Chain A
């Protein structure tokens, strides 16, 4: 599939999960394809980074379910900040652990999972839809019942994948990408490189996983609907060990996002064309910085 073909499967009004964490291994090529589409009115579920910022800036988000939106080395995502300070964004703000329980519940087809987090905090005040549940055992504890974060579709980006949807991460952190895929009705994997895990290979990283490190096979084909090869598809977020975060470019993004004029220029230069145009524009920009 191409990113465009993935996005054609998405519809306005859907609940869309996005894997990765902050400004790390985000399926940015798929997000950019989404920006070029007319899909809108989304409920986005993510440990948010520039994926969320871009979708907010493009006016594609009705509801956002998150614990944070950050660029990591730049703590505050400027588009998220602006959207919040403008008012009107329907935000479901959960704690990081509550979010994990919500994903897990969805993957296990449970209506909710209990969690201690949230009690006593204003998370319950600002999200009046959250309920509590009383333990049926002797302890009788009253805990928060985090509703399942079931999604219509999930988008994740991995280092390697085969055409069937078996996906491999080569970095140190799987984040929650397998859970996103299992918690969604459909899931699309973009990857740095399509490989045939059954075929011999010269590169140790692409060797058939059962002989190297099978636990790096994070996502399994039964939970994946489609796969697309997008080299540099997480740019400008990190995709270790293939590449780190493009810090200078991220800084340029954040600077541009801080003003309407700056953002209009950034959008024209980097986001108005195809994915190939984007990477070409980034290469040119880097040359100019030298």
Chain B
């Protein structure tokens, strides 16, 4: 049954924008962190990137593409944490991580806010961010684009940005590959001469002024940024009816 197409929501543009991050990656592991990136990875696999590998979030590679929250019923591989870490270092993976703070060169912080020696707020810790950013392609998903997230300078560099990788030398830049940042306002990349952040597209309904006002660092925003592409009817159906019938995506992104 095909549902009548109601207006595409902001969360659905975000799912699509996240899915696009994995376009053309081939047979790599898509590691999404968060609801919207998870939907994006599954949408990509069901449409334009069928070669992707997906995990169940635990130790298994899924051979099917279940709805969010549903159990996978086909297993195509075993990927416990130890092998996952080896896969990171081997580079056959494209992760989409979160960021509590991110700066114009893509330095990311998930460890703590404030001075590391006496943090105002302890967060997740560095987790796998240093290894991720130096070894396999990395994108970021930020559900709430705000000045306290898009900062001038992050308090603790966990994920390594372009300036810091360059300063650390060839061993750091060799496999360093920051692909894109997706927020609730738009899509960004680093395809500028100095590898600083650039607007790729704004989600429909988002203005240049809105993006500027929610970003602490000077981010050149074209007066009329290109819009994030529209989902096809088939993609919308997959998001709404197959992958996320209970609408969990709407809980992660404010309309």
Contacts and interface: CB of A to CB of B under 8 A. Distances in A.
Nearest to B175: A116
Contacts of A175: 80-82
Contacts of B175: 116
A236 interface: no
Interface string B166-191: 01111110111000000000000000
B156 A85 contact: no
A67 B125 contact: yes
Given A76-B123, A100-B85, A122-B157, A117 B169 contact: no
B224 to A, nearest CB: 36
Interface string A176-199: 100000000000000000000000
Contacts, number: 137
A66 B130 contact: no
Nearest to A86: B118
A171 B158 CA distance: 31
A272 B11 CA distance: 48
Interface string B103-136: 0000000011000111111111111111101110
B172 A93 contact: no
For the side of the interface on B, what is the size category?
A: 35 or more
Interface in B124-161: 124-131, 133-135, 156-160
A116 B89 contact: yes
Residue among B134, B175, B176 with max Cβ neighbours from chain A (10 Å)? B134
Contacts of A123: 126, 130, 158
Contact of B169 (A97, A119, A122, A125): A119
Contact of B126 (A121, A171, A173, A174): A121
Contact of B81 (A21, A95, A126): A21
Given A93-B111, A172-B60, A119 B171 contact: yes
Interface in B30-58: 58
Contacts of B121: 81, 85
B125 A173 contact: no
Contacts of B80: 172-175
10 contacts: A81-B121, A95-B129, A96-B127, A116-B89, A119-B168, A120-B165, A121-B126, A121-B157, A173-B58, A173-B59
